[in-house]
Amino acid sequence: MNQRRRVAVTGLGLISPFGGDLNDFFRRLLAGESAVSFLRTDDVPRPLAVPFVHCPFFDAEATLGRPLMGMMDRFTQLGTAAAFSAWEDAGFTRGQPPKERENWGVSWGTALGGVLAYEKGYRELWQNGRPRVAPLSVILGMNNAANAHISIQLGLGGVSMTHTVACASSSIAIGEAFRRVRSGEAPVMLTGGSESPQAYGVVRAWEALRILASGDELSAPHACRPFSTDRSGLVLGEGGAALVLEDWAHAQARGAKIYAEIVGYGATSDHSHLVRPEADGQRRAMQTALADGGLSIDEIDYVNAHGTATPEGDSVEVAALIEVFGALASRLPVSATKSMHGHQLGAAGAIEAIITVLSLQQQAIPPTAHLQEVEPACLGVDHVTSARRGLPLRAALSNSFAFGGSNAVLAFRAVAH
């Protein structure tokens, strides 16, 4: 059996609604600033008008170049740009790769893949009456397009895998990348997720589930209110996030900066219902991540909750936290940052992993925005409603719980600087 290696987080990259600057992104979250706006279309027979989170500052052509951009659906553009940013943040260069990168890999997450490319094809065929779709439709739409482009552009010759596990996709991608580095299979893994779900049919499908937040153009910034008595549902969003995970000794040998250490990963299935979450499965995922990381419950100083603002999901997650942390739960700081950046489905776990890493690095916790009155069923933990700074944060969990009953939890430990 291979010796378990320590795994460092040495690079972070983000394409967010606030832009790509990590410190500015985290500063805005600490300030409780919402990126939620309004998605309005002129589609027939009925236009869309829902709260949504865009990435308005992302210029794909400037970042990727027109030829490369033209071969990518938006989710691939977001993911590749985030991966480039994380790669450079870790101190690596693009261009001709050295031979050692033959076993460096990519592990990526997306729930929907290139859904915009497919919807465009459907519209061309059935709405516009054209006899064929664009020749690149298949490679634009395939779920593994992002990790394929990342591997090609960065010359990463190791494993190239895509995880499609609904809202747990990128957390599972990160967890599996972590396992490969820890086992010695790869000294470096680039991992994360991307999503761009604003296709008309996709939004209508989520709307049909009756779990999208209500709100108009004026109230949209406050539409997502996890754990609140007046929460009305989740807010969809787009984005991309990437992390470079690296063998600790490898990172130290090249003098890399280390944001945090990833120490544990837990993945479980509720095995009970397609859309109704179960506290037991979430409990087991958290306990598995803790055991995997050799962490005791009293070492966890923050939990970035899945917290989507759905009526049942929020209360079940709190119940699971209470089961895991027992008497310590009432003093456990918990926040749901989707209240500000929305729910990027398969990319949400990677975005929240970055937030958790930055919390440990900067010793600060962002709040659950817009939380005025906690739903009685969500009481029992220490809800963070305004930023907390200057804390002695030692370790933290990042939770992702998906339709299908798939649960993924990542455990991170702070490092001394």
Which pLDDT does position 3 carry in this prediction?
83
Radius of gyration of the chain (CA): 20
Share of the chain above pLDDT 90, in %: 90
The residues near 113 (Cβ < 8 Å, ≥ 6 apart) are: 73, 75, 141, 142, 143, 144, 145, 164
Residue 130 has pLDDT above 90, yes or no: no
Which pLDDT does position 386 carry in this prediction?
98
CATH code given to domain 264-413: 3.40.47.10
Nearest-5° Cα angle at 402, 238 to 287: 125
Stretch 129-153: mean pLDDT: 93
Cα distance from N-terminal residue to C-terminal residue, the chain: 32
Chain CA centroid to CA 108, Å: 11
Which pLDDT does position 279 carry in this prediction?
96
Looking only at the bridges linking them, the beta strands covering 333-335 and 300-304 are: parallel
Confidence of residue 416 (pLDDT cuts 50, 70, 90): confident
Looking only at the bridges linking them, the beta strands covering 7-15 and 160-163 are: unpaired
- Return the amino acid letter for 124: E
Is residue 306 among the annotated active site residues? Answer: yes
Task: Give the whole-angstrom CA distance, residue 331 versus residue 341.
Answer: 25
Catalytic residue among 54, 149, 163, 167: 167
Which pLDDT does position 34 carry in this prediction?
97
Is residue 370 among the annotated active site residues? Answer: no
Stretch 292-320: mean pLDDT: 97
Catalytic residue among 149, 163, 306, 370: 306
The answer to whether residues 242 and 191 touch, using CB atoms and an 8 Å cutoff, is yes
CA-based nearest residue to 74, from 246, 238, 218: 238
Mean pLDDT, rounded, of the chain: 95
Count of CB atoms within 10 A of residue 30's CB? 19
The answer to whether residues 154 and 105 touch, using CB atoms and an 8 Å cutoff, is no
Stretch 6-10: mean pLDDT: 98
The reported pTM is: 0.96
Looking only at the bridges linking them, the beta strands covering 239-247 and 105-109 are: unpaired
Stretch 308-322: mean pLDDT: 97
Residue 267 has pLDDT above 50, yes or no: yes
Confidence of residue 2 (pLDDT cuts 50, 70, 90): low
- Residue ranges per domain, the chain? 7-253, 264-413
Residue 138's Cβ-count burial label (10 Å; 0-12, 13-18, 19+) is middle
Looking only at the bridges linking them, the beta strands covering 260-269 and 7-15 are: antiparallel
DSSP tag of 374 = B
Residue 100 has pLDDT above 90, yes or no: no
Share of the chain above pLDDT 70, in %: 99
Whether the bond between 56 and the residue before it is cis, its omega within 30 degrees of 0, is no
Stretch 223-248: mean pLDDT: 98
Task: Give the whole-angstrom CA distance, residue 111 versus residue 196.
Answer: 10
Comparing 47-51, 77-81, 170-174, 399-403, the range with the smallest average pLDDT is: 47-51
Please, what sign has the CA dihedral across residues 210, 163, 139, 243?
positive
Structural tokens at position 38? 């309004």
Catalytic residue among 222, 341, 343, 383: 343
Which pLDDT does position 1 carry in this prediction?
42
Q: For 56-85, how does the pLDDT look when each residue is reduced to its tens digit (9 = 90+)? A: 999 999 999 999 999 999 999 999 999 999
Task: Give the whole-angstrom CA distance, residue 53 versus residue 56.
Answer: 9
Which pLDDT does position 124 carry in this prediction?
87
Q: Is there a shared CATH topology between the 7-253 domain and the 264-413 domain?
A: yes
Which pLDDT does position 396 carry in this prediction?
98
Q: Domain 7-253 classified CATH 3.40.47.10? A: yes
Which pLDDT does position 371 carry in this prediction?
97
Which pLDDT does position 128 carry in this prediction?
82
Is residue 343 among the annotated active site residues? Answer: yes
Stretch 362-375: mean pLDDT: 97
Which pLDDT does position 417 carry in this prediction?
63
Helix (H) or strand (E) holding 162: strand 160-163
